[in-house]
Structure 1
Amino acid sequence: MFNQNRIYRVFQLINYLKARPAKSIKNITRFLNTSERTVYRYLDMLSDLGFTIEKDGANRIWITCNHDTLPFTEQESDYLEKLIRSSGKRVKLADSVLQKIHQRSEVNVASKLVFNAHLSLIIEQISLAIIQGRQLLIRNYSSANSQTVTDRIVEPMCFTDNYDSLSAFEIKSKQNKYFNIERMGSVEVLDRKVQYENLHKFYKPDLFGYQGNQVDKEIELDMSLRAYLMMKEEFPMSTHFIRKNPDTDRYHLKCKVQSFQAPGRFVMGFAEDIKILGSKEFIRHIKRIVRNNF
């Protein structure tokens, strides 16, 4: 049973670190309910399995899988294994290659299956709460804003178009918010009817996921390829506002947002890869962050 729990934790960690934003060691420790020493041991193991452990400017962690280390399909793994075994020579190099084939294919496929099943169950429970008009307990929610892992009690309203997020009224803060499905540890439909339906409001989110009726704050960025790829992965809606500079390898983003908070964090995490072109208000916001934290 111990080994099963440990394997499940590794699968949880793989998908937790694939989902944006990047996570601090403290948050990972809380999410897995384990020690920092164990977290570092898991990270070393993921690195040995072929995952690239990335860090931003604040030492927050995420993992990537480069094109040259993409997992093999079941058919590709089977073909390579037969090819190596047919060489007729039993050498350590062959054993090493076979081990890596099994690691990269089975671990990635298994973790993906576990994660997809987990998300499916969460979406099913949320849908039930919406249909029945009941409050919902979100356990171990990893917040991109506060960088904390906490439980939230909400009144769910609806999903975003691609089922990435839930629009809900949070009881404690008395605010309408978006909650990323992949950042939910688990959910529970409570035996309580919604009580604040008159306060429910749905606003279309900006590209960083912030909702509100005043999307009037402008940002303009010049980004490296690395920053562009991370922006596109972490905030998929940003692709509609990004243009490649035909004369350089840089990418240009200009848009209006509800809040400077998320773009500010992103810029600080990739300070060496991003030039801030505007607005003056956003530049002042970044200067305040630097002044208060450095």
Structure 2
Amino acid sequence: MNNLRRELELLLLLTENKDYSVQMLADRLDITRRQLYYDLENLRACGFKLVKTNTKYRLDRHSPFFKRLHENIALTEEEAMMVYRLLDRLPHTDYLSKSIQSKLERFFNLELLTDVGQRRQAESNAAVLREAIQLRRVVILKNYSSPHSRTVSDRMVEPFLFLNAEMDIRCFEINSHTNKTFKTSRAASVEMTDVEWLNEQSHKSIFTDLFMFSGEERLPVELKLGRLAHSILLEEYPAAEAYITPANTPNHWIFASEVASYLGIGRFVLGLYHDIDVLGSAQFAAYINEKVKAMNQKVTL
């Protein structure tokens, strides 16, 4: 086995959902342990991140190589949804298109409407909403079915932002004077009016933070992370890497971002309080202090 082929085989083994010991890897590749250590060092030199647990090795899928590869060939969820919808227009006897749709559903875990009629109604509604956004017009969501209030009624709104691959629409509702997110499939139809937007200054898009909490408000936070907190943050929330920079002290990092709620990041900080310093935001520091006081009261009772 030549060197290139052997190193490619090693890459494949290390990316399987298994942990291999040095001896196991050497046996699989039919090489000595010394040669294997040499190959592992080559991988590290090329930017691959090796994770060692006790005596077992695996390759970190967040290595720069895999991130670049994923960015170049992968579809985003919105792109996947668009492909899915285009395939949905083909005849139902087209088995190839149905096979591709099944793979898209599994791989992207798409939130899909199972009823074809509902999907087409949602697409029809989205077409009117797209035009309304372009023309900055008020629309009426006819016979909108709300699962929260368990009512069916007309909603007069100013639509301004699609979400979730056009399955949701962010609107300013005129009667309640609030921003709400509506499902495009829950309106029997959408009627565009001649009335132009009057409340654009009140339009607020929804924001989803790294910890999967959503809201209109953006709350700045800044943390100083130790090695453990840094590793766990990246393991549980890989997208956090874009908001992390090295700190001035060795083995420490600065995480600076915005969150929609203190709930998600608060749980993270409280769980690793010994390895995290709260910087910057007095409001977030006060939130953490209140949580600590509440926990102390429970412990002393």
- Tell me the TM-score normalized by structure 1: 0.39
**TM-score, length basis structure 2:** 0.38
Larger Rg: 2
